[in-house]
Structure 1
Amino acid sequence: MKISGAESVVMEALWAKAPLAAEEISAEVAGPQGWTEATVKTLINRLLKKHAVAATRDGRRYLYRPLIARADYVGAESQGLLDRLFDGRLAPLVSHFSETGALTPEDIAALKKLIEGFEP
């Protein structure tokens, strides 16, 4: 499932706290993004059509909840990035960030700790 950058903002709000009404989602994301409530409702409708969210009637409004877990979405997006740009391999991605100076000393220490604790 392909979720756009704008749609992912709505998903993040739902992953953080669901279920939410459209007005609540709008209150969370519209201001920081410079969006109108209509824009947020359009994004919700797109996510409904993609089956990324579900709606449950609650009186005169609908409550929305995610149908996909954030971890599953992040995993699929991460693998897609690796496949598209780095032939499915993680080492060239890390090398790229190392060569461009994007890795901080804290990042390097965290990566070393992960590698030291890895058992194939």
Structure 2
Amino acid sequence: MKIFPKISESEWEVMKLIWKTNPLTSEQIINSLSDKMNWSTQTIKTFITRLIKKGAIGFEKSGRVYNYYPLISENECIKSENETFLKKVYDGALGILFTKFLEEKNLSNDEIEELENLLKNKKEKNSNKDN
């Protein structure tokens, strides 16, 4: 598995913005996040710099403007974070995670049906692999 950089909770906000729309200038990132997160311009610039150093985003310079874009995909990053969390908190036991989640979370009938369908499809795929 490819090793992904450890991205802080605050850096995730920058990444979500860049994943949604890219490339983005630092001005666009600052305008989008300064009010939403109540961060200063310098704080946002620090997060951008950290993400560049971590290899999560890249940039192209066009005159005096820097255009930032992701170097890692959102799906791959989420998968890596999920695996890290599962190992750290549940020793990799996915069943325990689901059991705890389902015991503590109120789900609508639609959500329950969606989970049932996901599990049914997963079971069918596993059955097809065995044949």
Superposition TM-score, scaled by structure 2 size: 0.86
The number of aligned residues is 119
Instruction: State the match for 2:38 in structure 1.
Output: 34
Instruction: State the match for 2:14 in structure 1.
Output: 10
CA contact (8 A) 1:56 1:64 kept: yes
- SS class of match (1:88): coil
Q: Structure 2: how far apart are the matches of 1:88 and 1:75?
A: 13
Q: Structure 2: how far apart are the matches of 1:91 and 1:28?
A: 39
Instruction: State the match for 1:25 in structure 2.
Output: 29
Change (3 A) 1:75 1:103: farther
Alignment of 1:109-120 (within 5 A): 109-118=113-122, 119-120=125-126
Alpha-carbon deviations, 1:15-40, whole Å to 9, x = none?
00000010101111121100111111
2:107 corresponds to which of 95, 101, 104: 104
Alignment of 1:73-92 (within 5 A): 73-92=77-96
2:55 corresponds to which of 48, 51, 55: 51
Alpha-carbon deviations, 1:54-107, whole Å to 9, x = none?
11101111111110000010000001111111121221111111221x141233
**1:8 offset after TM fit, Å?**
0.5
Superposition TM-score, scaled by structure 1 size: 0.94
Unaligned ranges ≥5, structure 2: 127-131
Change (3 A) 1:82 1:112: same
Q: After TM superposition, which residue ranges in structure 1, 4 or more long, deviate above 4 angstroms?
A: none
Q: Structure 2: how far apart are the matches of 1:37 and 1:109?
A: 45
Instruction: State the match for 2:129 in structure 1.
Output: none
> Counterpart of 2:81 in structure 1: which amino acid?
E
Identity of aligned residues (%): 33
Unaligned ranges ≥5, structure 1: none
Instruction: State the match for 1:64 in structure 2.
Output: 68
